[in-house]
Structure 1
Amino acid sequence: MHWLAWRKLWRHKNYGGLGFRVLEDFNTALLAKQLWRLMDCPDSLFARVFKGRYYRNSAPLDPIRSYSPSYGWQSIISARPLVQKGLIKIVGSGSSISVWDDPWIPASSPRPAT
């Protein structure tokens, strides 16, 4: 039995809806927040445990190969594209910048180097 149309259920309460969230998007946002926490607070117990197990000599955003990743780690790295989409780099000394690998100018297709 359908009592209300879905377009009315997911609308914000201020606009006459019930304020339901799209659970998949909400879950991805929470996982992205945990990934950000791994990068932002590297001295926390949470970050030290995951660093010791999964990315000992790299960063959480690097492509990491793990023998037997836990469900939690797989879930956290599934939010990697969302974090990378909004991530910016501070150049500083330039030691962490890769001219060839970092996305500098968005382009529809790769361009040859000149």
Structure 2
Amino acid sequence: MPCYAMIVFLLPIGLCNEIESILNRYWWSGTVTGGKGIRWKSWTKLCIEKERGGLGFRRLREMNLSLLDKQVWRLLTRTDSLVAKVYKSRYYPNCSLFEASVGSNLSFL
């Protein structure tokens, strides 16, 4: 479920850590609240690639940043799309995306 929000919003690091903590509890105990279970491996070990001995879980912060990078890539490569035109006219009308400065009337998107 957080994937939809991570495509558009930069989630706070604390929220990413909390979601990973919930995933970790559920993985080892089968329940989110009050479940007891033996943690055979740490969450960082579970996030290692399968080829290197982990389970291949994704780190949410890294996933969030890569999904946002994908949106930037789309703005750069599909300049004729409606979203790219709206963002260009609203946030960086006289420069490139990388030269844009933070404005005063920003939206959460």
TM-score class, shorter: 0.5 to 0.7
> How far is the alpha carbon of 1:3 from its aligned partner?
4.1
TM-score under structure 2 length normalisation: 0.56
The number of residues matched between the two structures is 72
Write the distance in 2 (CA, Å) between the matches of 1:43 and 1:64. 22
Structure-2 residue corresponding to 1:71:
108
Residue 43 (structure 1) aligned to one of 80, 83, 93: 80
Structure-1 residue corresponding to 2:71:
34
Structure 1 spans left out of the alignment, 5+ residues? 73-114
CA RMSD in angstroms comes to 1.8
Structure 2 spans left out of the alignment, 5+ residues? 1-36
Write the distance in 1 (CA, Å) between the matches of 2:75 and 2:97. 7
Structure-2 residue corresponding to 1:84:
none
Give the letter for the 1:8 counterpart: K
3-state secondary structure, aligned to 1:61: helix
Structure-2 residue corresponding to 1:9:
46
Residues 71-94 of structure 1, C-alpha deviations (whole Å, 9 max, x = no match):
22xxxxxxxxxxxxxxxxxxxxxx
> How far is the alpha carbon of 1:7 from its aligned partner?
4.0
The farther-off stretch of 2-11 and 44-53 is 2-11
